[in-house]
Structure 1
Amino acid sequence: MVSRFGDALRNAALPLLAVRLSAEPLVIASVTACGYVPWLLFGLLGGAVADRVDQRRAMWVVDTVRGLLVAAFALAVGLGHASIPLLLALAFALTTLQTLFDNASTALLPALVDRAALGGANARLMTGQQIAGGLIAAPLVPLLLTAGACTPFVADAGTFLVAAALVASLRIRPPQSGPRPAGSTLRAEIGAGLRALWGDRTLRATCLATLLCNIGMGALIATLALHVTRWLDAGDTGYAAAMTAYSAGSISGGFIAQRLARRTGRVRALLVAGSVQTGSLLLVGSVRDLSALVVGMLLLGAMNMVWNVNQVTLMQQRSPASMTGRIAAAFRTASTSGAPLGAILGGAAARLYGLNAPALLAAVLFALAVTSLIPAGKPDVRAVAPDDDVMTARAAR
C-alpha cells in the first residue's frame, strides 16, 4: 500500500507534467501508452519468472530498483531537464519491472490465504491500496507541484524504498511450486500458461471483456488531463477532484464487491459492473459540467473495483497453484494490450472529434465488453473451486 501511494502521486503528476511540456493530444497520450507497452513485450516472461523464483524476494528487489529509477528522474526534473522522451523512458522502465512485481504478488496471495477467502482478501487489499494511493495521494498532487515539479517524484521514490524494506522484512514461507519437468524452458512454460488460460471458458471470456474495457480506459485516462483542464476548463484542481472521486468510488466498491458476488456470482457481478461503467462514461462524455464528471468518476471507480476484485479472484481460484503466475501473466498481457491501443485511439479521437470523444469511445467499448461476457455467465460453467460459495452462486436456479 505504501508503494501504491507513491504510484498515485506519480500517475497523477506525469500527465500534468506532460501537459506543461506539450499541448499535442497524441504526444500526451503516448506517455500513458508507453507505460503499458512493456506488458506486451515482457508480461509473459514476468509470469514465468514469477513461478520460478522466491516471489517475496522478487517483489522487494523490484521495488528497490524502481525507487532508484524514480529518484534519478526526480533529480533530472529538479535540474530542469524534464522532457517528453524522459517521461516515456521512465514509464517504460517502471512498467517493465512491474510485470514481474505484479505477477509475483498475484501468485503469492493464494499461498497466504485459503482459496475460499481470496475474494475478501483481494477486496481488502485493493481497498487499502485505493485509500493510500488515491483518496490520500491524488489531492496532494497540485499542492506538491506548487513546491516544485520534482516533488511528487521524490515522494514516489521514497515510497518504493520503504515498501521494499517492508516486504523484505516479512517472515513467510514461500509457496512450494514443485519440481519442473526435466528440460523445461521458459518458452514451454509460457506456452502452458497460455493454453491453460485459453482452455478455461470463463477466464477466456473474462479476459476478452477486460481487454475491451482496458482499451476504453486507456482512451479515457490518456486524455483525462485534457478533458478536465481544457474541455471543462477546471484546471489542476478539477483534475485532482476527478481523481479523488474515482478513488473514493473505488474504496466504496471494495466494500460491495464481495457482497454483490455472493448475491449474483462473480461473472454476473462483472456484468453489473460493466453496465454501470458504460452509463458513467456516457455521463462524463456528454455533460460539460465538473459535478457530472465527479459523479461519473465516482461510479466508474466503484464499479472498476467490483470488476477488479472479482476478475482477479476468478483467475486465482481457477488456476493451479503451480501455474498462477503464468496464467496471471497471460491474462494481464492479453487484456492489458488494449491500454496502449486505447491511449493512441483516445488521443486521435480527441484531436479529430473533440476532447470529450475519448469518454464516449470508452462507453462504446464497455458496452461491447458486457456483451462479450454474457456467455460466460451461463450456469453450465464448471466450478474449479467448489468451496468458493460465490463462483457459481445461484447457478442451480
Structure 2
Amino acid sequence: MTEIRLAPAAAPVPEAESPRLPRAFHRLWLAGSVSSLGDGVYLVALPLLAATLTRDPMELALVTSAALAPWFFLGLLGGALVDRWDRRRTMWLTDLLRAGLLAVPALAAACHLLSIPLLVAVAFLLGTGQIFFDSAGSAYLPELLGRDLRLLEQANSRQMGSRTVAADFAGPPAGAALFGLARALPFGLDALSFLASSLLIRTLPAQPVAPERPSGSLWADARAGVSFLLRDKVLLGLALRPAIGNLAFAGTETVLVLFSRQALHLGSFGYGLLLTAQAVGGLLGAVLAGRLRALLGTGGALTATALLEGLSLAALGLAAGPAPVVQAAVALALLGAAMAATMVLAPTVSQALIPTALAGRVAAARRLLSLGAAPVGALLGGWLATAAGLRAPFVAGSVLLAATALLALTLTSNRRIEAALAGRAQ
C-alpha cells in the first residue's frame, strides 16, 4: 500500500507557504470545467427535448431519473472495477465513449427519429459512465496531489467553484438558447465537451500506483469498500452528511417551484433568479471554504455549515413579511454557501484518509449512500406538502440539517479528524 503523506497536524503550513498545485491539476481542472458546462447544457435540454415527445408525467420522470438508476444496480461493482483498472485511462476512455453516445440523440433529433425509450437508454448509459468516471476521478486526484491535505483543499475549492459557474450559471441558459435554435445543438455541444475532457485527461501523468490485483469476486471487493467505510467513524460521518443533506434538499426541491409561485408569487423568470441566488452563494462558499477551515478547523467548520444550512432552510420556508422574496433569496444564498463549503471540506478529508487501493470502492459506496437518500426525500417532501402545506418540507428539512451539527460534533470533530489524519500519516 502506498504511504500516505500528510503535513503534520500539529504544525500546519502557513497560508503564505501553501504548496502550489501542479500543472497537471490545471489540465484536470480545465477538463472538469468544460465537462460541467456540457452537463449544465444537457440537464436543461434533456427535459425540454422529452417534453416535445410526451406529456405523460411518468414518461418524463423516467427520462430525468434514468441517469441515477445505474448507481443502484452497478455503483458498488463499478467502484470495485475502478480499483482494478488504471484510473486515468478509465476517465479518458469513459468520456470518449460518452461523447460518442451523445451523438446518438443529436443525430436522432436531426433525423426526426427520437423516442422516449431512446432518451431513457441514452440517459441510463450516460449514468453508467458517470459511475466509472466519478469513482476513478475521486481516486486519481489524491494520487496526483500526493494526498497533501492543503493541496486537496485548494483543488476541491477550485473544482467546486468552476462547477458552479459552468453548470449553474453558464450551462442552463446556454442549453435553453441552443435548444431554441435546434433540438440537436445542446447534445452536440455536450458531446464536444466530453471529447475535450477526454483529450485533456489523456495528457495527464500516468497513474503512479499500480491497480490492485483481483483478490476475489467483484462482490467481495465491493463489500470490502463498504466495510471499510462503515468501520471508520470519521469517514462514516463525512458520508452521512451529504446523505442526510440530500434527504432534506430533495424534499424541498420537489415543492420549491410551487412554493415560489404560491407563497412568494413569483413567475418563471423570478423563479430562475431565485435559483441564481443559490448559485451565487455556492460560488462564495467554495472560495471561502479554506478560510473557514483555518478559522474553525475542519470539524468546527462542518458543524457551523450544518447549523447555517438548517437556519437558512427554515428562513426560506418561513419567508413572510414585507419582503418575503428578499428573505428567500438571502436564505438560498446562505444555504448555497454552506453547502458548497461542506462539499469542499468533507471530500478533502475523505480523499486524504481513504487508502489508494480502496479509493474507488469507498467513493462509490459514499456516492450510493448519498444518492439513495434523494428519492426518499423527494417522496417525503411531496407527502409533507400535501398533508401539512408547502412550508412543511422546509421546516422538517431544517430540523434534519440542524441535526447534522450533532453528527459533526460526535463523528467529525476537530479532535477526531486530526487523530485520523495523524494515524494515516504514520
Specify if TM > 0.5: yes
Amino acid at match of 1:165: L
2:21 aligns with none
Q: CA deviation at 1:150?
A: 4.6
Corresponding position: 1:51 with 2:83: yes
Amino acid at match of 2:422: P
Return the match for 2:420 from 384, 391, 395.
384
Superposition pairs of residues 76-91 of structure 1, within 5 angstroms = 76=108, 88-91=120-123
Return the match for 1:172 from 200, 205, 222.
205
More off after superposition, 294-303 vs 142-151: 142-151
1:140 aligns with 174
Q: CA deviation at 1:57?
A: 1.6
Q: What are the superposed Cα offsets for residues 263-284 of structure 1, whole Å, 9 maximum, x if unpaired?
A: 2222222221122122222233
1:294 aligns with 329
Corresponding position: 1:340 with 2:375: yes
Q: Distance in 1 between matches of 2:261 and 2:172?
A: 16
Amino acid at match of 1:157: A
Partner of 1:384: helix, strand, or coil? helix
Q: What are the superposed Cα offsets for residues 78-115 of structure 1, whole Å, 9 maximum, x if unpaired?
A: 66676766554444332221111001001001111132
Q: Distance in 2 between matches of 1:119 and 1:227?
A: 36
Q: Distance in 1 between matches of 2:278 and 2:197?
A: 24
Q: What are the superposed Cα offsets for residues 22-51 of structure 1, whole Å, 9 maximum, x if unpaired?
A: 485x77666554433322221111211111
Structure 1 residues without counterparts, runs of 5 or longer: 390-397
Partner of 1:265: helix, strand, or coil? helix
Corresponding position: 1:98 with 2:130: yes
Amino acid at match of 1:335: S
**Paired positions, count:** 386
Q: Given the superposition, is the C-alpha separation of residues 257 and 30 from structure 1 closer, same or farther in structure 2, using an over 3 Å criterion?
A: farther
Q: CA deviation at 1:199?
A: 1.4
Return the match for 1:120 from 133, 151, 154.
154
Structure 2 residues without counterparts, runs of 5 or longer: 1-32
Partner of 1:344: helix, strand, or coil? helix
Return the match for 2:222 from 190, 210, 215.
190
Q: What are the superposed Cα offsets for residues 174-220 of structure 1, whole Å, 9 maximum, x if unpaired?
A: 13146536x43322221221121111111112222221111222233
Q: Given the superposition, is the C-alpha separation of residues 380 and 260 from structure 1 closer, same or farther in structure 2, using an over 3 Å criterion?
A: closer
More off after superposition, 52-61 vs 343-352: 343-352
Q: What are the superposed Cα offsets for residues 303-337 of structure 1, whole Å, 9 maximum, x if unpaired?
A: 11111111111111111122111111121112221
1:160 aligns with 194
| TM-score, normalising length: structure 1 | 0.84
Return the match for 2:279 from 247, 254, 261.
247
Corresponding position: 1:202 with 2:234: yes
Q: Given the superposition, is the C-alpha separation of residues 283 and 58 from structure 1 closer, same or farther in structure 2, using an over 3 Å criterion?
A: same
Partner of 1:244: helix, strand, or coil? helix
Q: Distance in 1 between matches of 2:46 and 2:383?
A: 20
Amino acid at match of 1:96: T
Q: Distance in 1 between matches of 2:125 and 2:139?
A: 22
Q: Distance in 1 between matches of 2:183 and 2:387?
A: 31
